Chain A
């Protein structure tokens, strides 16, 4: 089972997901196709003084101590348990590599406060005091907790993945990059299986404020469920969300030989850097256009083959305009009637996890023949004349899906999923 370029075909044999609208892919899918939003008022920390007070946090998963790496690890574990479980591969002896998109971590305020207190300093606190407290040895566990490789290392330990686990970031396209790395490793024949994960549990005061100071977040706090409105004229920013998603990728031939159920295929990957600006994309859309074209070419498809686009669709004025323009450049007049919808209208922007969460939803779309809607679409943007599958899910035969992911730092990553390879 090889693709048109003679490379091993890459099958998906297991998927898991956890988001603010459901634990597990079936719950999440039911909510997503029902048009239910997971965005709500933040209860996790006080929001007085903030411009944005809403998010798609996952509040029913508890970890101790509560911090981004712990929650991100837990979400990854939950998603991976579901995915590996579905694949039928050994639950603690995974026969392949781990590629994991994790949020950049650093020590958080509760830990800094604990160190400040332990220092005994009663006057002005400086890092000298924190360093003094750190030297007591009482905080040894926090070294492990707050270095960058730990989340993936713990997941590698739990599932028994092989080799050096890769922790990666390509900002908001990280989840897609994790999948791309897995696809490439299988195609090169380095491994027959890859566990690809995207996870993000980093809604805390400072990370929210950082995005807020860049004016990236929606401030439509009054009605949280309606704040994320991708492609609408009155969209004003994204809403942070939390989530974890895992995919088990396998050399399709090996998967079939062991009798695994194939859920779909990752047929193509495309990526292109953008040197225009740190947070904005090239005005001509060329990098995004190139990434989409590369993904199609890599999949052995032409634009006419694509039945549905799972949009990056963040609900920021900039992204949605650029994405619409880039898609139109690739798909031409057909773009007016090619369904494109944004899961982020319900789940929010799960940042590091988004590409992986949306990959699972793309494959669910293929499997169920149902396209999830873009909710909160009340005021169309005349400059974005697209079929965004407004507000209500739609039944359709979907063989091939394009999933877009774009991020700060000039990251553009696109994936193509299929029920079968073309010509099969």
Chain B
């Protein structure tokens, strides 16, 4: 089996742009920027303003994308730059792509108008047809479609080996990394671009998680402190992409690895009290993890957050534990890639020889990723 290394990171969030900025913010350990006004009583961690032109040069392309796709496309460009791959068209034409994605977004004004009209419409079904036919922008569909983040990355950045889009909330981020790593390790492919993007600043996703009762609505607290007061998560807007390749492939093109992706494990426990703690023990054991640093994907949701804390005390009693959500908020599909980016950064800085990234989904799915010195 071949070693798999990380040679490029592209990361944007409320903490800023780029890996260095995020590592500095992680070290500073301040509270993340929080927007409590726009969606009151909900709060989100809004992504910093970005100069889209720097990674998505054509305005026509920008217009074809909604925010989540633009964020992902932008971060993908940063990752390609960081890996020294951006200008190598031949390399990008055989680079494989796995994107962890949800979907969306909607035209909120149109939705509201239709719902208002439906109440008094003589024939609601016909009214719905007529309004959707006349009010939906044809291109909005493509801006909603899950696999079109990958499609846009192919168009904007020329990454055209082949793309696959994984869905399924937090787990999709872990499994995207896992499958990419396995394909490189087994020799099937040499180089991948893997990541995800999330736009939290939109009422339709707030709605989904509000139905499930998952939002933290009190003043900002660290994810670890929230369970004692009922628990909950704060969604964050952001994106993270990583360039993964075999050690030999990186060496052959003179790319410097940040860290080695030593192992990835994921599973689904049928959740009940204790199952997350048990699952994390099992995953850490499977990976033979001895981390000096932990980048946790903890959400702040009651029950599972305390279980993760307890498991980490056993797995890594000496390790510094950072929660990605305390830096960038919870970015669902992008959270595991972001955690891996931070862990790789810490290892590259010499702050840890080995790191463990955890992913305990807010509702289902557990995963762990072990990184070591390159």
Contact = CB atoms under 8 A, between A and B. Distances in A.
A149 B208 contact: no
Contacts of A134: 207, 210-211
B166 A139 contact: no
Interface residues of B, number: 81
Interface in B139-159: 140-142, 144-148, 150-152, 154-155, 157-159
A273 B171 contact: no
Contacts of B210: 131, 134-135
B297 interface: no
Measured as residues with beta carbon below 8 angstroms from the partner, the interface class of chain A is 35 or more
A166 B174 CA distance: 10
B367 interface: yes
Given A48-B126, A130-B203, A169 B147 contact: yes
Contact of A125 (B115, B179, B364): B115
Contacts of A210: 136, 140-141
Interface string A157-189: 100000111111111000001000100100010
A408 B182 contact: no
A46 B164 contact: no
B56 to A, nearest CB: 13
A188 B182 contact: yes
A271 interface: yes
Contact of B145 (A156, A171, A188, A190): A171
A212 B133 contact: yes
A407 B151 CA distance: 10
Interface stretch (A260-268, A276-284, A359-367, A390-398): A276-284
Nearest to A156: B268
Interface in A192-245: 205-206, 209-214
A131 B129 contact: no
A275 to B, nearest CB: 4
Interface string B267-278: 110100000000
Contact of A127 (B64, B112, B126, B171): B112
B129 A49 contact: yes
Contacts of B267: 163-164
A90 interface: no
Nearest to B365: A164
B231 interface: no
A125 B108 CA distance: 10
A102 B165 CA distance: 11
A113 interface: yes
B175 A166 contact: yes
B112 A209 contact: no
A287 interface: yes
Contacts of B130: 49
A148 B169 contact: yes
A337 to B, nearest CB: 31
Given A48-B129, A140-B212, A275 B203 contact: no
A411 B133 contact: no
B247 interface: no
B182 A190 contact: yes
Interface string B226-266: 00000000000000000000000000000000000000001
A327 B282 CA distance: 49
Residue from the set B103, B111, B207 with the largest chain A CB neighbour count within 10 Å: B207
A131 B175 contact: no
A279 to B, nearest CB: 7
A213 B179 CA distance: 35
A172 to B, nearest CB: 10
Contact of A274 (B108, B154, B157): B154
Interface in A1-56: 45-51
A146 interface: yes
B300 interface: no
Interface stretch (A103-111, A305-313, A315-323, A368-376): A103-111
Contacts of B171: 149, 164
B203 A205 contact: no
19 contacts: A45-B125, A102-B167, A104-B145, A124-B116, A140-B211, A143-B211, A144-B363, A148-B103, A164-B365, A169-B167, A184-B183, A209-B132, A213-B133, A272-B161, A272-B162, A273-B154, A279-B142, A287-B160, A291-B162
Given A49-B130, A273-B150, A278-B151, 4 more contacts: A142-B208, A167-B172, A210-B141, A213-B136
